[in-house]
Chains A and B, each alone.
Chain A
Amino acid sequence: MKIPLSWLKEFVDINIPAEELAHRLTMAGLEVGEVITIGGWENCYVGYVEKVERHPNADRLNLCTVSTGNGTQRVVCGAPNVAEGQKIAFARVGATLIDVHTGKSATLKAAKIRGVVSEGMVCSEKELGLGEDHDGILVLPEDAPLGMPLTDYMGDQVLDLEPTPNRSDWLSVLGVAYEVAALTGTKVHEPEVFYPEEGNPISSQARVFIRNPDLCPRYTASIIKGIAIGPSPRWLQERLQRSDVRPINNVVDVTNYVMLEYGQPLHAFDYETLLRSNIMVRRAYTGEVMETLDGVTRVLNSSHLVIADDRDARALGGVVGGIDSEITDKTTDVLLESASFDPTNNRQTAQAFHLRTEATIRFEKGLRPGLPAVALRRATQLIQQVAGGTVAKGIIDAYPGKKGDTSLLLTSERIKKVLGVEFPMDRPREVLTSLGFDCREEGPSALRVTAPYWRSDIAIEDDLVEEVARIIGYEAIPTTMLSTPIPANEPQTLRNFREEVRDLLVMEGLQEVISYSAVSLDMLKRARTADDDSSLLKVANPMSGDYQYMRPTLRASLLRTLASNLSHQADSVSLFEIGRVYLKREKDLPSEPETAAGLFYGPRSSEGWLGSGDRYDFYDAKGVVEALLRQVGVAGGFQPSDDPFFHPGKAASILANGSLVGILGEVHPLVQESFEIDGGSVVFFELNLEKVFEAVPQERRALKPLARYPSSIRDISILVDSSIPAARIQSVIENQPLVERVLLFDAYEGKGVPSGKSSLAYRLYFQAADRTLSSEEVNKSLAKVIGLLEREVGASLRGGEEVQG
């Protein structure tokens, strides 16, 4: 919304600079994006063309004698429309104008044109930066004061306002004027509206029937006959243009002008086109058709409100007019409409037809029914003024939705409760009165307040509290710290757990990433996670196909992250993400389990002169998962998995307390290929943190006493079938009472070992809590372990030795 300061000044005195005004408005909630300056034309004056002669050496050029009040100048002028007796914008030598060839500013110099010295220039709109017109010079009104600096005469400043959606009145000069008055301590003077009503009584010329008062509580109309359609006068066009509204003709321009002035949209019908002069405000018939002003034929239904004559819909109420009743050059009689419409219905209709008109932008905010009659009179006056004609006696005012004005009680007690500061009530009273509210005292500490007809945003007492607070200024309210009791602590155990996992993964050397929560079906297919979208949570209006589905896993996100980094990052990569995945549920919000996933790729450490070490493999991911689980007190189990995302035979389900909590493995080479990741395998893990959390023992970290006696160490080397999982052997050994810890320290298949067999070497730590174990005891226990291994997993002993521990 752009409002020229000159227009605002008609409504309210402004005694501070525009920049200061802009600041105050912004602080009070009406943001001023910019103050646009029009003018600044130095050395430009209102001039008078005394004489026009033919240039002696050029047919198309004139020699003009221009007066600026003190003395005359001779200028060469090529404009076809220059004529004696005109008031024009005259630029003296030294003026800065827009060069119409380059579009840039340039200083005007004295010049000889075809042998004649030109002492200045008669300017076009374009040269003054006022518009695009360069067909001729700008002709000023006859009453323009001769010799006045042009900036004083026609310069202006325009406030580019960014009103909040609750304030329909900030879409009007009137509303902003009251704001200015309250903020600067001045008064608003609304224009006096008076016009002669010399036509026949309006009741004999038209009738209005409102079938749906719920959708149209008030409809007012006037009739002006015998008008002359034509362009609006310059002042009117100029204001519209400065407010970014395109002038059309004098009648339409007035409706727009009054809309900008009062915030009330109006519509002018060609009276002649209205069948039997009846206005029917009704819902459209299903299938009813109307061509709107934009030339589009609309098929209507009963959810749309139309303004019809006796037969046809003539306008989409409060949204857009119909083309058949449009004001044209031939129009002589006008029926002017100013009405109230239901905001919800208006918005729905506009949205259904994708018609976001200036009218809808205002009606959808809920205009007060007090407004139409005021705006109607103002517009009738202006039409009569700029287009002539005879105004019918009286107006039509159909007002079936009339309700009494509602008032609100504002107490000093409430102000104190909300703002934390107490005022004597004269201050709120002063503020509200300056904003146009009606205030009556109710006792010493309360006001009975009625909002003015242009304010549609005031519904409760706190709305008045805000008015007071924002006009006195938020900086005038004290700053205190909370003094109310701190609520009882509610432990956020899952959240804390998740953050602990985040810490642990960083400690384990992984880089955290955060990726978009949505993915494409294609990505999920590549990750072999979904074949179709039946189980996926789909976004109805996604930003793009890349983000159409809420991710059910972090797999695609992380592989994509890796792939996108490979072009510039061939080095060691280990990263993780903790985020939610979204699992669809029937007729309910999805579950959003917190999930941790990580991947490893490339050499284990950065390449360098010390060598880069081996490449990451399955056991790196496993080591990270194991350390994580151990640190949170969960005994994890691992079983081979055939999840198709992973390399066959190189994946494991992660179990905790017997239930599945995650998965890890080497990514399937074809999956990797589909993500365009080459140059080695990717190892990946994913954990459902909510499930891991369920397995975390309630009482964690009870201190185990430190061993007080030394442990004894024995190494054994065994030969077993390669099909026996190491976990089984481990548990056989661990189950021996004196074995405190066991470590697989070597595993070997190949030369020297029979095929199908593995050679495994274990280090066993024997320990008792209450004594130093004797060598005999240890050997006995070890013998038992070996016996068990032979019986239970078919192991054969290859060797064993005592280790000095």
Chain B
Amino acid sequence: MKSEGFRQPFIAQGLYMTSPDLAQTIQEVRDKALEELQGLASEEELESWRILYLGRRGRLTSVLRSLGSLSQEERRVVGAQANQVKALLEESLAQAEGQVKESRIAGLAQEEQIDVTRPGRSVALGRFHPLTQILREICDAFVAMGFQIVEGPEVEWDHYNFELLNIPRDHPARDMWNTLWIDYRDEKGEQPMLLRTHTSPMQARTMERMKPPVRVIVPGKCYRYEATDATHEWHFYQVEGLAVDDGITFADLKGTLYEFARRIFGADRRVRFRCDYFPFVEPGVDMSIDCFACKGQGCRICQETGWIEILGAGMVHPKVLEGVGYDPSVYTGFAFGLGPERIAMLKYGIEDIRLFYSNDLRFLRQF
């Protein structure tokens, strides 16, 4: 403690001092104050110090008060000196206060230290189902190419699901779609209602509703009577695409789907188009991408072929156009259908399609 000297009356002899004396006194006050400030370690001590030197009755204040006894010239000189000292003391005090606070909190850290390695308070995070994520990604890719998203009924008429798509009743091509039928008979005793086997009925519904140009994609659930295993589900999603206008060609089909593959699977993806058959297109196409797992060398994912089939497509069959009242000699177009589960499986390395609808939270929380 260095505060004992404070109690001595300092300017008791008082009010009639000369200028050199006063300057001398200011100097002494400054030195003493700074010296005492050095050793102070608490906010309380600093406050006492402030009162002692800078308070209303403090030593420096008293000195300033006595300036009145000097001549104008002396007052100007000594006054400036006193104000300088005041500013210096105030600044030193502020600095000392800062240090004291800093070290007080640093001291607290000793007592109040927390274990930063304990786990944080849990936050319930919402997540989208992986199929929602992939569907949005797919839709975004096509929306960027001018396609609009439309949706349609999942419970459909045979008429839209098959007839208008050039798949008449008793046509062997119907075997390509094992159908789940709704238990409903019409007046003729026929069973015309079904769970759509693909999103393709929206081709006909969309074209019936609007005139060209048409450029839509149709995401939605589809159903097939199919035994389930790691790669087959009776309940699945599909994304249908359709572009019809005067002047749309097979070359456009290739370009559009190529661009899609690049957006979803990366810019260095190679694609392969081969001929395939779907009754509602002519010519028909099957598109594969080069296997990203083995870079085309052949592996388990691509069944050693280096290629992975990802979608079916083709030029809209003239009969389909005729069926909805479009003139096939004027309008052409392409259609495609792809399976988002398959794309998600490829992207995320999911090996069992049944995981999508089992809703195991341990699965869903990984996305």
Contacts and interface: CB of A to CB of B under 8 A. Distances in A.
Contact of B170 (A26, A167, A348, A421): A348
B332 A540 contact: no
- Among B123, B153, B282, B356, the most chain A Cβ lie within 10 Å of the Cβ of B282
Contacts of A509: 123-126
- Among A490, A512, A515, A568, the most chain B Cβ lie within 10 Å of the Cβ of A512
Contact of B249 (A418, A463, A510, A568): A418
Nearest to B358: A564
Interface in A459-496: 460, 462-463, 465-466, 469-470, 474-475, 477-487, 489-490, 492, 495
Nearest to A606: B122
B148 A420 contact: no
A469 B250 contact: yes
Given A165-B176, A537-B182, A512 B126 contact: yes
B148 A489 contact: yes
A506 B276 contact: no
Contacts of B124: 509, 572, 574, 604-606
Nearest to B254: A479
Contacts of B285: 474
Interface of B: 118-119, 121-129, 131-132, 145-146, 148-151, 153-157, 170, 172-173, 175-176, 180-183, 186, 191, 193, 195, 210, 213-215, 221, 223, 225, 228, 234-235, 243, 245-252, 254-256, 258-259, 272-277, 279, 282-285, 315, 317-319, 332, 356-362, 364-365
Contact of B252 (A481, A492, A540, A606): A481
Contacts of A228: none
B357 A487 contact: no
A511 B365 contact: yes
A470 B283 contact: yes
22 contacts: A164-B277, A165-B172, A418-B249, A419-B250, A419-B251, A460-B282, A462-B317, A470-B275, A474-B285, A475-B273, A477-B250, A478-B254, A484-B213, A486-B215, A487-B214, A508-B126, A538-B183, A540-B191, A541-B180, A543-B234, A580-B154, A606-B122
B360 A565 contact: yes
Nearest to A539: B180
A514 B131 contact: yes
Given A28-B275, A487-B213, A482 B252 contact: yes
A365 interface: yes
Contacts of B359: 513-515, 561, 564-565, 575
Interface in A586-621: 587, 589-590, 592, 604-606, 608-610
A518 B148 CA distance: 29
A567 to B, nearest CB: 10
A517 to B, nearest CB: 6
Interface in A560-574: 561, 564-565, 568-569, 572-574
Contacts of A417: 249, 332
A35 to B, nearest CB: 13
B261 to A, nearest CB: 12
Nearest to B252: A482
A296 interface: no
Nearest to B364: A511
Given A543-B234, A582-B154, A609-B119, 8 more contacts: A164-B276, A165-B172, A469-B275, A487-B148, A490-B148, A511-B361, A517-B235, A606-B122
A515 B221 CA distance: 11
A166 B173 contact: yes
Contacts of B157: 589
B353 to A, nearest CB: 13
Contacts of A418: 249-250, 283, 315, 332
B282 A466 contact: yes
Contacts of B149: 492, 495
Q: Is the interface of B mostly helix, strand, loop or mixed?
A: mixed
A412 B245 CA distance: 20
Contacts of B131: 514
A298 B71 CA distance: 141
Given A418-B250, A482-B256, A605 B122 contact: yes
- Among B145, B235, B356, the most chain A Cβ lie within 10 Å of the Cβ of B235
B251 A421 contact: yes
B193 A589 contact: yes
A481 B259 contact: yes
A29 B276 contact: yes
- Among A465, A481, A509, the most chain B Cβ lie within 10 Å of the Cβ of A481
Given A165-B173, A420-B250, A516-B357, A482 B154 contact: no
B155 A550 contact: yes
Contacts of A513: 129, 359, 364
Contacts of B146: 482, 486-487
B172 A365 contact: yes
A282 interface: no
A347 interface: yes
Contacts of A564: 358-360
Contact of B247 (A166, A483, A605): A483
Contacts of B180: 539-543
Contacts of B126: 505-512
Nearest to A557: B359
Contacts of B122: 572, 605-606, 608, 610
- Among A465, A484, A550, the most chain B Cβ lie within 10 Å of the Cβ of A484
A542 B123 CA distance: 41
Contact of A484 (B148, B181, B234, B246): B246
Nearest to B249: A420
B361 A569 contact: yes
Contacts of B357: 514-516
A420 B246 CA distance: 12
B255 A537 contact: no
Nearest to A461: B318
A564 B361 CA distance: 10
A508 B254 CA distance: 42
Contacts of B365: 511
Contact of B181 (A29, A506, A541): A541
A115 B234 CA distance: 65
B137 to A, nearest CB: 13
B251 A582 contact: no
A516 B250 CA distance: 37
Interface in A157-199: 164-167
A27 interface: yes
A344 interface: yes
A537 B250 CA distance: 41
A477 B181 contact: no
B358 to A, nearest CB: 7
Contacts of A605: 121-124
A539 B196 CA distance: 12
Contacts of A582: 154-155
A344 B272 CA distance: 36
A610 B123 CA distance: 12
Given A495-B149, A512-B132, A592-B155, A466 B275 contact: yes
Nearest to A486: B146
A693 B286 CA distance: 40
A480 B249 contact: yes
Given A511-B361, A511-B365, A420 B121 contact: no
Given A420-B251, A480-B249, A589-B156, A165 B145 contact: no
